[in-house]
Amino acid sequence: MRRKDELGQWGEKCAADHLAAQGFDLLDRNWHCRDGEIDLVARDGDCLVIVEVKTRRTGSAGHPLEAVTAKKLATLRRLAALWLRGHPVAAATIRIDVVGVLCAGEGRAAIEHVRNVSL
């Protein structure tokens, strides 16, 4: 079993690798300010994507995606605006994606990627 911080880092790496394999360009990782943190910032074509990653050891506490609430999405929207202030990137659209990572044993991950999340 990994410690919580190691598990989160592992999950973010799995998510970043998954997104790269899907053709996303990773722009930033673990960007933080006093208002919070964005796990991953990526580009999907001409779309800027703010990515929240949720990782779980098991599904006993529910699927990782269930941990993303309307409050968390509102925070991510605010953080996206703050990130853009410091990183002027031309993007036709901006969206929020969530990647759920569930340990599948022996260092393997079951990954679920939901695009354009809204609650």
The single residue listed with the structure tokens 């949720």 is 54
β-pair type (36-44, 108-114): unpaired
pLDDT at 107 over 80: no
End-to-end CA distance of the chain: 32
Q: What is the CATH number of the domain that holds 85?
A: 3.40.1350.10
Is 79 a member of any domain?
A: yes
Domain boundaries, position 48: 4-114
46 falls within a domain: yes
Q: What's the structural domain count of the chain? A: 1
pLDDT in tens, 81-96: 999 999 988 778 999 9
- Residue 56: φ, ψ to 5°: -135, 150
Task: Tell the residue number behind the tokens 């779980």, with chain if given.
Answer: 56
- pTM of the model as a whole: 0.91
- Report helix, strand or coil for 37: strand
Q: Is residue 119 part of a domain?
A: no
Q: pLDDT confidence of 2, banded at 50, 70, 90?
A: low
